[in-house]
Amino acid sequence: MRKLNSLLFSIAFSVLFFGCSIEDEADHEKIVEMTIYPHTGFGANVMSEIWTEPLLFSDSEDSRKRMLVDIIFENSENFSYERGYEYTLKVKKVWMQEPPQDVSSVKYVFLEMLSKEKVITEDMETSIEVSVSDKPVKFMPRYPTEYEEVETEDGEVYEQPKVYDALYMEENDDNSKKLILTEIDGFDYEEGYQYTLSLKKKIQANPYSVDYLLLEILSKAESD
């Protein structure tokens, strides 16, 4: 009887341990609401030198506004984004046990759009001060993505996203806020010089657009 009890205990323990192991190896997931904001950010993937315009988001479990970069967002092709609107999405939030290299261990899966509200409804103007780098960066616009035709050696023509040489700058009152711009109205950039500029930021509500106008060159210094 003692041997039988020991055997039954061993079997029960093995089943319990094996079940816990499977549960530990499985991805944890939860249905949450994601907020997509009316402005985009400027960021680059870990493995890329090309800057782009990631969506800004938060979710119902984490209210921090952050960029949707180096984060897997599955089924995103079923979500169409327009600047100037705030979206609430129903998504599946998945904590991956074995995430792919160089991406977040949390991914999102788009399920459905719950709401779309236009929140940029009036034209606005603000003044900002920025520091401009002495070297341009590579930049690929999004929303919409711009395309250019490329011809191969065999004479075939195809379209690929257009990449610009763009100005890299930081707002002086918030060094964590970066701007990547292909042009500033009234400003002639010379590579090899660092600038401090006073700009007017103009937001047009309908159709949504953002433009930057040079007010004053506050400083210009040749880089070492």
- Rounded distance between C-alpha atoms, residue 37 and residue 81, angstroms: 10
Report yes or no: 187 and 179 within 8 Å, Cβ to Cβ. no
Is residue 73, in this structure, part of any structural domain at all?
A: yes
- Rounded distance between C-alpha atoms, residue 100 and residue 91, angstroms: 20
- Rounded distance between C-alpha atoms, residue 137 and residue 43, angstroms: 12
**Parent domain of 212:** 124-222
Number of domains in the chain: 2
Cβ contacts of 177 within 8 Å, gap of 6 or more: 170, 171
- Write the pLDDT tens digit of every residue in 23-77: 455 689 999 999 999 999 999 887 889 999 999 999 999 999 999 999 999 999 9
- Write the pLDDT tens digit of every residue in 102-154: 899 999 999 999 999 999 999 999 999 999 999 999 999 998 899 999 988 88
Residue 136 pLDDT: 96
Q: Identify the residue whose tokens are 């920025």.
A: 130
Model confidence at 101, in pLDDT bands (50, 70, 90)? confident
Is residue 49, in this structure, part of any structural domain at all?
A: yes
Q: Which two tokens stand for residue 22?
A: 């499977």
pTM: 0.82
Residue that terminates a domain, selected from 118, 145, 167: 118
